[in-house]
Chain A
Amino acid sequence: MNNFLAIGLEAAVVLAGLALLLLDLWTPPAQKRSLGYAAAIAVGAVFLASFAIVLARPVPAFNGMIVLDDFALFFHRFFLLAAVLVLVMSVEFADRFENGVAEYYALTLFALAGMMFAASANDFALLFVALELITVTFYVLTSFERRRTASLEAGVKYLILGALSSAFLVYGIALVYGVVGTMNFARIAEGAPVWLDSPLLQAGLLLVFVGLGFKIAVVPFQIWAPDVYQGAPTPTTAFLAVGSKAAGFVLLLRVLFLGVPALGQRWQRLFIVLAALTILYGVLCAIPQRNLKRLLGYSSIANAGFLLLGVATLGREGVSAILYYLAGYLFSVLGAFAVICVALRHTNRDQDDLTSLAGLHERSPLLAATLALAMVSLAGVPPLAGFVGKFLLLKAALTAAAAEPWLYVLTGVAVIGVVISLYYYFRVIRAMYWPAETAAQPASEAIEVSRPMRWALGFCIVGMLWLGVLPDQLLTLTNFAAQSLAP
């Protein structure tokens, strides 16, 4: 019974996905689009239901393969919330799919289930299964606009590199299992003192981190991100940016803190170097970008670097900061993609570059305000969520730096990264509000924003402001969740 309680939320999402596929059979084609709202409502209900769960202590299930602790619960809610917003976005986007709209929603739900399984994975087998569930659904979701070359190109690139990373991952897991004889994180941690110096185990874990690095888009495994972000349908990109990245971080943290805490200490400098490289690569490559989705792709690489900075601190404070940062990132990035989804609908789709945003504030003040706030939040400026997230990360890094002086260097790199990122985030704002410089007259007709979309945008704005101005509640939650990993 315990077993099924522990995966109740995941099961509900999977059932919702199956029900959606069945409903599709009886829904007349004209109304298939609105099935997305049904899916969003179902996911929203699961999200609310998750607050009924109160954990006195972590609930292990399926022989320790799954553990439902506060950390898992935090991410369950995170993914559910992201999925609701992505589904609303998908309905907006659905008129661009030729057919299979309901499948798109269902696949989104299955990807969501994968992410939720990842959040409570306590075993390499489940880690792999959850990641594959996410990745395989995303292969389809990225290439869903199957008559558009850019979408197909994105799908193929994601497929090839994703398969490669899965191969790394599986090979690494095999090596770890070969050395330790178990896949369970807790049992690996118990046996770690004996096996820690084994080069085979280290090689195996390194390969596992390579596999996870692909998901997170950490340098040097970031190469796919900009192309896929640019080509994929916008809701897919949004889910990829928030959900898939967060799932990668969940697993990284789980392996690092529960599986091999001692090895983490030894590899701290590796994480520091990777974080610094990722930040610099992301911000420097974002500077010349003209395409908004591509720019956000590079920005997501830079943000992976900032999050990795939190990982490199190897402490509870760092984990708590990561969770907070991700929550702020969710509202900011989904807000931005929602605007792209609606505002750039009428422009030629492969040219959704910055100039097509010109005059957006006159066509729809709400869209312009949301995108501006999202950019300001991503840039890390008060009173928005991004500021508190960056503040917590920097504070965690400086606190941990007393023990590891390299973190001072990383903090310096992070500051440089933030300053450079201001340039390209503000360029987006300039594109919307500044008087136009080009001779070409931008489109001037007002943009209609549907009511659910308006609610979603409002929700993102409120979320950004709430996390920026009243950090106390969420911070208590993230501290609590971080305790599950690093007591």
Chain B
Amino acid sequence: MESLTFIVLCPLIGAALIALTPRNYNVLFRLVALGTTFLSLVGAVRLFVAFTPGAAGMQFEYSTPWVTSLGIAYHVGVDGLNVALVLLAAVVGFAAACAAHEITERQKEFYLLLLVMTGGILGAFASLDVFFFYFFHELALVPTFIMIGVWGRGERRNYATFNLTIYLSLGALIALIGLIALYVATGARTFDMVELARQAAAHPLPVATQRAIFPLLLVGFGILVSLWPFHTWAPLGYGAAPTSTAMLHAGVLKKFGLYGLIRLALPLLPEATRHAAPLIMILALGNLLYCGLVAMRQGNLNQLIGYSSVAHMGFVFLGIASLSFIGITGAVVVMVAHGLLAALAFAASGYLQRELGTLEMAQMGGLLRKLPFIGTVLVLAMFAGCGLPGFANFVGEVMVLFGAWHGHAVIVVTAAWAALIVGAVYMLRAIRVVLHGPLRERWAGIADAPHLWRKLPFLLLLAGLLIFGCFPGLLTNRIQPAALAVARAVVGPPSVVAASAVPGEGAR
């Protein structure tokens, strides 16, 4: 059960089962989706518990050659960087399957795509081979497009679908070019991430090559993560997406780009990363400040959550750009925390959408009286979004700010201001408008989540936020060794930096 292959394959096998079942067994499709994602979740939890904290290197590795002539292998394994992400993907995958009961049309296709997407996400985070890393990501991305197109909502659905499709595909392809260029440049004849990192440590790439490849990865992955100013697809797409899709994409799939940057760009292109770090900091501020301010002006709850989710990505970029051990650890914690938060927020807004038929905040008000459970969930999600201590977001954000403080005090102050003040303004205002005040008559008939089964996805995601918020050591102890290795690869002990800089300068 702790096998990564098992975790990845469960949803995919479920998808194959659904594909082979005649189309009118709707209950069966839902059961298969819930069952397989639950198995994945159990596997991921056990993996997370069995993972030895503090140990360096990969654990639970499995490798088998796939395309020998190209050096492609099916290689999965986890270290501190991705063990929590695999867990996150499994949790959100199960929660998304639970939340999918809102779908009533063409359930066969929906659950099929949902499971393919979940399997793809899990595979992307478990893979240690660049080819499979990309392969699984694309496998998860395409169902997103189709799900938004067919089951999406809103008048601008078609526009949103094509905007998202073209924007994200462009990002993915630019990243692919960067990855292939990386493979060609190292001359290692292997797509294995561990092997590539080893090669790059032994023989650093020429600085000119690094500086040519890094922008490809930054822009490519940046588009996928909605790095400012490439973020415009995100609020649009999430506004149109069905609940489960928005949960999976905003929660987990989007983290692929960040993970790619930390896993590949930083250790393999250290010189270029150091060079680009100030730029990334500025862009991260763009996310935090600009998107935060835009979020303040939103009248639609989904748009607000979408923009705030884009804004939170700024913290991760800030952590990456700090190039410090604490900052990178914090970045990974934020990735996990925000994944749970985004899934929770979209699940709640999806519930409201279904009950109310609208997400215009001006038409809401006083909903906490009718929806004590969902309302509480929304309040807690908003608190977590403001960075309230006790939630995992606080831990990650504080670590990022600590990590970046050294040498970037001005930026840290601005970021903290942007996140805490601006974030608090729009989050608290949303709570006031949506949940407090007089209840409108037209909402007299709405109902709260009726039983435990409906509440389960919310409880699961909230539990994750609170557990990691109150016991951050569960995360940080696991992340530390890997984050330390990345930070060392980028900055290096002083003597190594001096020694490697000399031939690099000469080559230029």
The chain A residues found within 8 Å of chain B, CB to CB, are 361, 365, 376, 381-383, 387, 391, 394-395, 398-399, 402, 411-412, 415, 418-420, 422-423, 426, 429-430, 433-435, 471-472, 475-476, 479
B149 close to chain A: CB less than 8 A: yes
Verify B139–A430 contact, CB threshold 8 A.
no
Instruction: State in angstroms the CA–CA spacing of A382 and B165 once bound together.
Output: 15
Verify B165–A426 contact, CB threshold 8 A.
yes
Name the distance in Å between A433's Cβ and chain B's nearest Cβ. Answer: 5
Most B CB contacts (10 A, CB to CB) among A412, A434, A476 go to: A434
Instruction: State in angstroms the CA–CA spacing of A391 and B138 once bound together.
Output: 13
Can you list 25 contacts pairing A with B, beta carbon distance less than 8 Å? A376-B142, A381-B138, A381-B142, A382-B138, A383-B139, A391-B131, A395-B183, A398-B180, A399-B184, A411-B177, A415-B173, A418-B169, A420-B166, A423-B162, A429-B146, A430-B158, A433-B109, A433-B146, A433-B149, A434-B149, A472-B66, A472-B67, A475-B67, A475-B70, A479-B69
Query: For A475, what are the chain B residues with a Cβ–Cβ distance below 8 Å?
Result: 67, 69-70
Verify A434–B150 contact, CB threshold 8 A.
yes
Interface of A is mostly: helix
Verify A387–B177 contact, CB threshold 8 A.
no
Query: For A387, what are the chain B residues with a Cβ–Cβ distance below 8 Å?
Result: 135, 138
B181 close to chain A: CB less than 8 A: yes
- Total interface residues in chain B, CB < 8 Å: 33
Option from A391, A418, A426 in Cβ contact (under 8 Å) with B145? A426
B176 close to chain A: CB less than 8 A: yes
Q: Which 7 A-B residue pairings sit nearest by Cβ, starting from the closest?
A: A382-B138, A382-B135, A472-B67, A419-B170, A415-B173, A395-B180, A398-B184
B495 close to chain A: CB less than 8 A: no
B104 close to chain A: CB less than 8 A: no
The chain B residues found within 8 Å of chain A, CB to CB, are 23, 66-70, 109, 131, 134-136, 138-139, 142, 145-146, 149-150, 158, 161-162, 165-166, 169-170, 173-174, 176-177, 180-181, 183-184
Query: For B170, what are the chain A residues with a Cβ–Cβ distance below 8 Å?
Result: 415, 419
Query: For B183, what are the chain A residues with a Cβ–Cβ distance below 8 Å?
Result: 395
Instruction: State in angstroms the CA–CA spacing of A100 and B67 once bound together.
Output: 47
Query: For B166, what are the chain A residues with a Cβ–Cβ distance below 8 Å?
Result: 419-420, 422-423
Instruction: State in angstroms the CA–CA spacing of A395 and B135 once bound together.
Output: 15
Instruction: State in angstroms the CA–CA spacing of A365 and B106 once bound together.
Output: 12
Instruction: State in angstroms the CA–CA spacing of A479 and B69 once bound together.
Output: 9
Extra inter-chain contacts (16) besides given A381-B138, A382-B136, A471-B67, CB under 8 Å: A382-B139, A387-B135, A391-B176, A391-B180, A394-B177, A394-B180, A423-B165, A423-B166, A426-B145, A426-B165, A430-B158, A433-B146, A433-B150, A435-B150, A471-B66, A475-B70
Verify B69–A426 contact, CB threshold 8 A.
no
Query: For A412, what are the chain B residues with a Cβ–Cβ distance below 8 Å?
Result: 177
Name the distance in Å between B476's Cβ and chain A's nearest Cβ. Answer: 34
Verify A419–B70 contact, CB threshold 8 A.
no
Name the distance in Å between B15's Cβ and chain A's nearest Cβ. Answer: 11
Option from A398, A399, A422, A471 in Cβ contact (under 8 Å) with B177? A398
Query: For A394, what are the chain B residues with a Cβ–Cβ distance below 8 Å?
Result: 176-177, 180
Query: For A429, what are the chain B residues with a Cβ–Cβ distance below 8 Å?
Result: 146
Name the distance in Å between B240's Cβ and chain A's nearest Cβ. Answer: 13
Query: For A415, what are the chain B residues with a Cβ–Cβ distance below 8 Å?
Result: 170, 173-174, 177
Name the distance in Å between A192's Cβ and chain B's nearest Cβ. Answer: 30
Chain B residue at smallest Cβ distance from A419: B170
Option from B69, B169, B184 in Cβ contact (under 8 Å) with A419? B169
Instruction: State in angstroms the CA–CA spacing of A435 and B70 once bound together.
Output: 43
Instruction: State in angstroms the CA–CA spacing of A426 and B109 once bound together.
Output: 16
Query: For B67, what are the chain A residues with a Cβ–Cβ distance below 8 Å?
Result: 471-472, 475
Instruction: State in angstroms the CA–CA spacing of A97 and B308 once bound together.
Output: 62
Instruction: State in angstroms the CA–CA spacing of A418 and B131 once bound together.
Output: 18
Query: For A391, what are the chain B residues with a Cβ–Cβ distance below 8 Å?
Result: 131, 176, 180
Instruction: State in angstroms the CA–CA spacing of A131 and B177 once bound together.
Output: 37
Option from A365, A398, A411, A422 in Cβ contact (under 8 Å) with B165? A422
Name the distance in Å between A411's Cβ and chain B's nearest Cβ. Answer: 6
CB contact under 8 A between A476 and B69, given known A422-B169, A430-B149? yes
Instruction: State in angstroms the CA–CA spacing of A33 and B68 once bound together.
Output: 46
Instruction: State in angstroms the CA–CA spacing of A19 and B23 once bound together.
Output: 45
Query: For A422, what are the chain B residues with a Cβ–Cβ distance below 8 Å?
Result: 165-166, 169
Query: For A419, what are the chain B residues with a Cβ–Cβ distance below 8 Å?
Result: 166, 169-170, 173
Name the distance in Å between B121's Cβ and chain A's nearest Cβ. Answer: 14
Verify B23–A365 contact, CB threshold 8 A.
yes
Instruction: State in angstroms the CA–CA spacing of A475 and B183 once bound together.
Output: 19
Instruction: State in angstroms the CA–CA spacing of A422 and B67 once bound together.
Output: 27
Query: For B162, what are the chain A residues with a Cβ–Cβ distance below 8 Å?
Result: 423, 426
Query: For A398, what are the chain B residues with a Cβ–Cβ distance below 8 Å?
Result: 177, 180-181, 184
Instruction: State in angstroms the CA–CA spacing of A45 and B137 once bound together.
Output: 40
Instruction: State in angstroms the CA–CA spacing of A387 and B173 once bound together.
Output: 11
Instruction: State in angstroms the CA–CA spacing of A426 and B161 once bound together.
Output: 10
Instruction: State in angstroms the CA–CA spacing of A395 and B180 once bound together.
Output: 6
Query: For B169, what are the chain A residues with a Cβ–Cβ distance below 8 Å?
Result: 418-419, 422
Chain A residue at smallest Cβ distance from B182: A398
Instruction: State in angstroms the CA–CA spacing of A420 and B169 once bound together.
Output: 10
Instruction: State in angstroms the CA–CA spacing of A435 and B184 once bound together.
Output: 45
Instruction: State in angstroms the CA–CA spacing of A236 and B134 once bound together.
Output: 37
Query: For B68, what are the chain A residues with a Cβ–Cβ distance below 8 Å?
Result: 472
Instruction: State in angstroms the CA–CA spacing of A387 and B138 once bound together.
Output: 10
Instruction: State in angstroms the CA–CA spacing of A402 and B180 once bound together.
Output: 13
Instruction: State in angstroms the CA–CA spacing of A208 and B170 once bound together.
Output: 37
Query: For B149, what are the chain A residues with a Cβ–Cβ distance below 8 Å?
Result: 426, 430, 433-434
Instruction: State in angstroms the CA–CA spacing of A269 and B149 once bound together.
Output: 41
Instruction: State in angstroms the CA–CA spacing of A422 and B165 once bound together.
Output: 8
Chain B residue at smallest Cβ distance from A478: B69
Chain A residue at smallest Cβ distance from B68: A472
Instruction: State in angstroms the CA–CA spacing of A472 and B23 once bound together.
Output: 34
Query: For A420, what are the chain B residues with a Cβ–Cβ distance below 8 Å?
Result: 166
Instruction: State in angstroms the CA–CA spacing of A152 and B342 once bound together.
Output: 59
Instruction: State in angstroms the CA–CA spacing of A295 and B162 once bound together.
Output: 18
Chain A residue at smallest Cβ distance from B19: A369
